[in-house]
Structure 1
Amino acid sequence: MTAQPAIAPVGVEFRRLTVDDLDVFREIREEALQKFPQSFYSLEEDQGGDATVAAYRHWLSGTILGAFACQTLIGIAGFYVSPDKRSQHRGHIYTVYVKEASRGQGVGDGLIKQLLALAAARVEQVHLAVLLTATDAIKTYKRNGFEVYGTDPRAVRIGDATYDKYLMMKKFR
């Protein structure tokens, strides 16, 4: 099974982000971190480091796609192939975020479809982890062929609160 071609919502352009987009990427990532700290984090940011360094590391590790409406970045999603030689048949989707005002319009679906089209040519399967409480995201992933294969209990702790994650996967072949 191969990924379906991505159909962009009206007025939305999907494209790979470049280092020239670092500032707008950093802005949307900071928004995601502030609104959903249980979902978005990196070692640099957890240790009080510069978000720009964390953002730049994303470019080094794979592909970041952006969704633009009226030349404004409204959504992001990342993909990378496992660096371990024995796991290079596996890809990973991460940092999927759509600004609140743009949700429910197919932007998340479009980002996932674009990443899956890119991934299908490179890997046999794609993995992701998503909080159990992110029900809209889970529906989007399931619509795009992902299945839950496990639960990571208490995967994230912020203060006294813990959050479980679903582990999801889509096989191409």
Structure 2
Amino acid sequence: MTSHSAIAPSEVEIRRLIVDDLDIFREIRAEALQTHPQTFGSPEEEEGGDAMVAAYRHWLSGTILGAFGCGNLIGIAGFYVSADKRSQHRGHIFTVYVKEKGRGNGVGDRLIKELLARAEARVEQVHLAVVSTATAAIKTYKRNGFEIYGTDPCVVRIGEAMYDNYLMIKRFSR
């Protein structure tokens, strides 16, 4: 049985990851891809090698937050605003993952709250997609003001299993 009390919330530091954090980002991303293939993945990661590293460097040049407990990266969450001027009122949260030892301790909540605090100054609404079977993640998003506005059916297929994504939104009051 895994203990969720291994890392106290007060011991968790949240900071923006940078390109110099590539190795620790690759490590946590590999864990996310392995343990939750229905949730994580990109064409660059499927290709691997230089394409994957280039994609990670690009992501790390933007806004990806890391949660550190006892000096180790235990959670990540990313945010971006589309480059399309017509869509710059919308932000997007992506690649949210918390390692098992950080779950149940508010690490996910802290990452989302920090991203939302940064987003509120830049956009009017924040969107995300979450696999419909990720009940803990959905609860976290709802606690932070997100609501489901649609379902994208059969987004991912792994073997014979198909997975839907819930589309969620949080609007900032202005």
Same structural fold, with TM-score higher than 0.5 when normalized by the shorter chain: yes
- The CA deviation string for residues 36-77 of structure 1, in whole angstroms up to 9 with x for no partner, is 1111111111234444233112124x3000000111000000
Query: Size of the alignment, in residue pairs?
Result: 165
Higher helix proportion (structure 1 or 2): 2
Aligned alpha-carbon RMSD (Å): 1.3
The residue aligned with 1:59 is 60
Identity of aligned residues (%): 72
Check the 8 A contact 1:130/1:138 in 2, yes or no. Answer: yes
In structure 1, runs of 5+ residues without a counterpart are: 1-7
Match for residue 102 of structure 1? Answer: 102
Q: Kindly provide the amino acid, as one letter, of the partner of residue 15 in structure 1.
A: R
- 8 Å CA contact retained: 1:157, 1:163: yes
In structure 2, the partner of 1:165 is 165
Provide the residue aligned with 2:138 in structure 1.
Answer: 138
For the Cα contact (< 8 Å) 2:68–2:74, is it kept in 1? yes
User: Any unmatched runs of 5+ in structure 2?
Assistant: 1-7
1:150 aligns with 2:150: yes
Q: What amino acid does structure 2 have at the position aligned with 1:43? A: P
Q: Distance in 1 between matches of 2:84 and 2:155?
A: 22
- Provide, for residues 145-169 of structure 1, a one-character-per-residue CA deviation record: whole Å limited to 9, x for no partner: 0000000000111222110010000
How big is the shift at 1:85?
Answer: 1.1
Q: Tell me, what secondary structure is at the counterpart of 1:149? A: strand
Query: 1:16, 1:63 within 8 Å by CA — same for their partners in 2?
Result: yes
- Alignment partners' CA distance in 2, 1:54 and 1:157: 23
